[in-house]
Amino acid sequence: MFTDDADQEAAKKDDGAKAQQAELFETEPPPWELTVEDDIAVGRIVFSEAPYGPYDYQIPEAEREHLKPGMRVRVPLGKRRHPMMGWCIETRIGYKGKRGSLREIVEVLDDEPLCDPALVRLVLWISHYYQAPTGQVFDTLIPSSVRSNAGTRERAYLTPNPDRSDEKSIELLPKKQQAAFRFLIAAGRPMTASELMVHAKCTRGPVSGLQSKGYIDVSMQREMTATTPMRWQKNDGESQQTHVPSEEQTAALERISAAIESGTGKTLLLHGVTGSGKTEVYIKAIEQIVRAGRGAIVMVPEISLTPQTRGRFERRFETVAVLHSQMTPSERHFQWQRIRRGEVQVVVGPRSAVFAPMPRLGLIVMDEEHDASFKQNEQPRYHARKVAHARAMSLGIPLILGSATPSMETWHATSTGHAELIPMNERINQRPMPSVELVDLRIRDDRTRGAISRPLHLAVQETLNEKGQVILLLNRRGFATTIQCPSCGHVVACPDCDMPLTHHRDGGKACCHYCDYTIATPPWCPACRFDGIRYGGLGTQRLEVEVKARFPDACIARMDSDTMKRPGSHQRVLSAFRSGEVNILLGTQMIAKGLDFPNVLLVGVINADSALHFPDFRAAERTFQLVTQVAGRTGRGDRGGRVIVQTFSPEHPAIQAASRHDYHQFATDEMVNRRKFNYPPLGSVARIIIRGVVEDVTEAVADSLLGRLEAARQALGSEVRILGPAPPPIPKLRGKYRFHLLLQSTDSAQLGETIRRATDSFTIPEKDDVQYVVDIDPIDML
């Protein structure tokens, strides 16, 4: 893959005939007589678009000392008319090839590298492991707002030319120019033209005159324009207090301190039940880091980045940078620059915070490490946990993973010695875990009409009477999940994805939840015109209607991605809930994560099975996590709490374990299942998705990829199981047919190498219009 000369590969495509001609007139010595030109400076450059490189270029004399890895350059590429932007990944002296055969770098775009050498190494590692073009990894690491200098402007600053600042030269000038020039000299600092005009009380004329006569030197400087303040409230009303650490917290902190001091890049799993006070442990550990003059990164799932989380860190540290998806580009750029200058002690943010350019990083924390949002669903498909691990190892700093329901990957790592387990088994103040009651939805007596069983209805009523608050979880948004004609059976589906549309009562829309296809919900059957189409299945909107009807006096808020679209809506609902204004909060998994409200006395899970029957080896794990996490939202105050879980499979081990808060039982059972098929964490999985507009052309490409994978496996003698190609659970998406190949091996390096070898130089004819993506350690199996 590494080619030494940009021309070679680009010219092969663009300029095959010319290259052959050139060969005929070749007069240079043949390759084996090549000498090393050890005075040539070479920069190795990668691109974000094909051809991705890396290619070598000669560094012009003037940039020799300046160009460093992590800077952007412009270089000629193939027969392109304009130079291309690329990233420098390496510089060296000495070129094994004939003098003059390297093309030159046209321009170096940055004054300083956008990432330090350690981050450049991290980029190369991500690119290799996740099999993503290095240039694209750079583009992910350095936000586009930074690359485009968002929120900055170039300003011209004027300084007096020292050669003309003597009295004799000044006297040669007309009166007004003299006055302005004397003013600039007296000011003793660079000024913009408009500043000078204001202070020297003149028009633009004299200033321009001085400039054109060479009395004034002009230098350009890029500076930040005023940054917009964040639209966050400082906190949501949580009382401010520091705590005396509990015994378990103290013990955890001692182990973390030891890891910090060891400098060996240890991974620690803080396995603490919900409400055990994990955040306080992170904060105290970071305080130790900050006292040593270093900084920390804290990653949380985007959705738990609430004012509460933010407040907890901002109250305890002087300088905190909070990164989130609703920042404007200039805010993002501003924060990035602050972090890079070392002005920030703690960075709090979602998965991309793992790339924060903190100069003296001392600790990385990942809260709710089991959360699926830490895996990026587009190229490069990295998992922030894996990246954090690589970054922490290379710097010799600890990585703390925290969760009440650790991923099977992390749990397994504690048994193989790759991570150290720190348990916290008790809630703060010895509060009991809430009791969990399972309601079997198969038993008719328990099932009144609608989504809420009798026991749940009674429990909600009791809780409201006691002035307690209720959380209801239903992991499906919309009103009805199918729209079906009772006469002919037709199901209204997305033309681009073949999946049933969800009916949304707000606006009477039918939407595809896989793409954004939306139509007005048809009033009659589009197939047979029968008047009386039925809305089946249950979404949060329908639940809201039912809850309002059942509890007309309660104030109800719904939280799902439909109601949370507007910036700030998430915080508004949560503070209304904290203040007690809202009695019942219902919503999707959004409400399951991290919330800490002492007055929540009841949690109801409307349907615990919704994630259980997915064709995915992690289905049980997800169900266990969701139920345990949402159950953990109650019993956080002095008044205790209870949980009611409605399910069609009360005997399922994952639901049983969740009802007893028994992570260990769950993990033991689940590991047996994983071992049967060598699923992660016992083996590695990779997925290749092939998609195209024409079904059989797409399948043919998938077949030829299979052929290459088999050949690669044989050539490498690797033990890799290949399944497929087969249509995945979502066989059509956004108008494209999909096929996938699943690869499994107990050796992740062999697995990676097999794919690398099979896809290296694998090109699909443009007319086929088929693309493929490689997903290493996939989370999304649909």
Cβ distance to Zn ion smaller for residue 109 or 730: 730
Options 4, 496, 669, 703; binder of Zn ion; rule CB under 5 A:
496
Residue whose CB is less far from ligand ADP, 245 or 522: 245
3-state SS assignment for residue 398: coil
512 binds, among Zn ion, ligand ADP, none (CB under 5 to 8 A by kind): Zn ion
How near is the Cβ of 280 to ligand ADP at its closest, in Å? 4
The stretch among 461-469, 491-499, 614-622, 736-744 that binds Zn ion (CB under 5 A) is 491-499
Piece of 229-237, 278-286, 516-524, 754-762 that binds Zn ion (CB under 5 A): 516-524
Is 283 one of the binding residues for Zn ion (CB under 5 A)? no
Site string for ligand ADP, 580-599 (x = CB under 6 A): ----------------x---
Shortest separation between residue 246's beta carbon and ligand ADP, angstroms: 5
Distance CA(197)–CA(187), nearest Å, equals: 13
Return the amino acid letter for 338.
Answer: R
Select the binding partner of residue 517 from ligand ADP, Zn ion, none (C-beta < 5 to 8 A, by kind): Zn ion
Give the chain's radius of gyration (CA, Å).
Answer: 31
Q: Determine, following the binding rule CB under 5 A, whether residue 493 of this chain makes contact with Zn ion.
A: no
Q: How far is CA 655 from the centre of its chain?
A: 29
**CA-angle at 39, arms to 36 and 45, nearest 5°:** 85
Per CB under 6 A, does 243 bind ligand ADP?
Answer: yes
Binding-site member from 177, 249, 607, 623 for ligand ADP (CB under 6 A): 249
Query: Pattern 261-290, binding to ligand ADP, x per CB under 6 A?
Result: -----------x-xxxxxxx----------
DSSP character at residue 292: T
Q: Apex CA 603: angle with CA 601 and CA 605, to 5°?
A: 170
Asked if 737 interacts with Zn ion (CB under 5 A), we say no
Our finding on whether 512 is near Zn ion (CB under 5 A) is: yes
Rounded CA gap, 481 and 187, in Å? 71
Q: Which is nearer to ligand ADP, 633 or 708 (CB)?
A: 633
Q: What share of the chain is helix, strand, coil (3-state, %, to 5)?
A: 35, 25, 40
Which part of the chain contacts ligand ADP (CB under 6 A), choosing from 241-249, 455-463, 506-514, 762-770? 241-249
CA distances from 225 to 89, 222, 343, 527 (A): 31, 9, 18, 58
Q: Please tell me the distance from the alpha carbon of residue 294 to that of residue 222, in angstroms, as a whole number.
A: 28
Helix 695-716 with 748-759: angle, nearest 10 deg: 120
Counting contacts by CB under 6 A, is residue 426 touching ligand ADP? no
Exposure pattern of 413-439 as b/e (b: 16+ CB <10 Å)?
Answer: bbeeeebbebbbebbbeebebbbbebb
Q: Which residues pair with 36 in a beta bridge?
A: 96
Number of shown-chain residues binding ligand ADP (CB under 6 A): 15
Q: Looking at residues 615 to 674 of the shown chain, list those that interact with ligand ADP (rule: CB under 6 A).
A: none
The residue type at 211: Q
Output phi, psi for 173, to 5 deg: -85, 155
Instruction: Identify which of 558, 554, 578, 555 has the alpha carbon closest to the alpha carbon of residue 569.
Output: 558
Nearer to Zn ion, 116 or 780 (CB): 780
Instruction: Kindly give, in sequence order, each residue whose CB lies less than 8 Å from that of residue 499, ignoring residues fewer than 6 positions away.
Output: 493, 512, 513, 514, 730
Return the range that interacts with Zn ion (CB under 5 A); candidates 43-51, 194-202, 386-394, 487-495: 487-495
CB under 5 A: which stretch of 165-173, 212-220, 381-389, 512-520 binds Zn ion?
Answer: 512-520
Nearest to 38, CA basis, from 91, 92, 94: 94
Q: How far is the CB of 563 from ligand ADP (least distance, A)?
A: 24
| Cis peptide leading into residue 190 (ω within 30°) | no
Residue from the set 109, 515, 764, 773 that interacts with Zn ion by CB under 5 A: 515
Among the listed residues 60, 245, 450, 727, the single contact to ligand ADP using CB under 6 A: 245
> Of these partners, Zn ion, ligand ADP, none, which one is at the site of residue 515 (CB under 5 to 8 Å by kind)?
Zn ion
Q: Assign 223 to helix, strand or coil.
A: strand
Q: Where are the alpha helices (DSSP H) in 33-72?
A: none
What is the nearest approach in angstroms of Zn ion to the Cβ of residue 228?
36
249 binds, among Zn ion, ligand ADP, none (CB under 5 to 8 A by kind): ligand ADP
Rounded to whole angstroms, the Cα distance separating 22 from 348 reads 57
Decide if 401 contacts 369 (C-beta within 8 A). yes
**Residue 494, contacted partner among Zn ion, ligand ADP, none, CB below 5-8 A by kind:** Zn ion
The residue among 741, 759, 739 whose CA lies nearest residue 699 is 739
Residue 596 interface partner, choices ligand ADP, Zn ion, none, CB cut-off 5-8 Å depending on type: ligand ADP
Residue 241 is classified by DSSP as -
Does 428 bind ligand ADP (CB under 6 A)? Our answer is yes
Cβ at position 239, least distance to ligand ADP in Å: 9
Does position 517 bind Zn ion by CB under 5 A?
yes
Non-local (6+) Cβ contacts of 624 within 8 A are 405, 654, 655, 657, 658, 666, 670
User: Which amino acid, 542?
Assistant: R
Structure token digits, residue 434: 């809430």
Residue 684 found at the interface with ligand ADP (CB under 6 A): no
Residue 272, contacted partner among ligand ADP, Zn ion, none, CB below 5-8 A by kind: ligand ADP
Name which position in 441, 473, 494, 688 contacts Zn ion (CB under 5 A).
494
Give least dist CB 492 to Zn ion, A. Answer: 12
Q: How many residues bind Zn ion (CB under 5 A)?
A: 7
Give me the least distance between CB of 658 and ligand ADP, in Å please: 16
Taking CB under 5 A as the criterion, which residues in 335-394 touch Zn ion? none
Stretch that binds ligand ADP, among 64-72, 244-252, 605-613, 648-656 (CB under 6 A): 244-252
Question: Candidates 105-113, 259-267, 488-496, 724-732 — which segment interacts with Zn ion by CB under 5 A?
Answer: 488-496
Q: Could you give the CA distance from residue 251 to residue 159 in angstroms, rounded to a whole number?
A: 61
Kindly report the number of other CB atoms within 10 A of residue 153's CB atom: 10
- Between 240 and 763, CB nearer to ligand ADP: 240
Q: Which of residues 187-226 bind Zn ion (CB under 5 A)?
A: none
From the list Zn ion, ligand ADP, none, partner contacted by residue 12 (C-beta under 5 to 8 A by kind): none
Minimal distance, residue 365 CB to ligand ADP, in Å: 12
The correct pick among 48, 246, 414, 625 for binding ligand ADP (CB under 6 A) is: 246
CB atoms within 10 A of CB 726: 12
Give 332's contacts (C-beta < 8 A, 6+ positions apart).
143, 145, 146, 150, 323
Quick one: what does residue 625 bind among ligand ADP, Zn ion, none, with the CB cut-off 5 to 8 Å set by partner type? Answer: none
User: Which of ligand ADP, Zn ion, none binds 274 (CB below 5-8 Å, type-dependent)?
Assistant: ligand ADP
What is the spatial distance between Cα 466 and Cα 546, in angstroms, rounded to a whole number? 21
- Closest distance between ligand ADP and the C-beta of residue 349, in Å? 17
- Could you tell me the two tokens for 577? 């809930």
- Amino acid at site 333: H
Tell me which residues touch Zn ion (CB under 5 A): 494, 496-497, 512, 514-515, 517
Tell me which residues touch ligand ADP (CB under 6 A): 243-246, 249, 272, 274-280, 428, 596
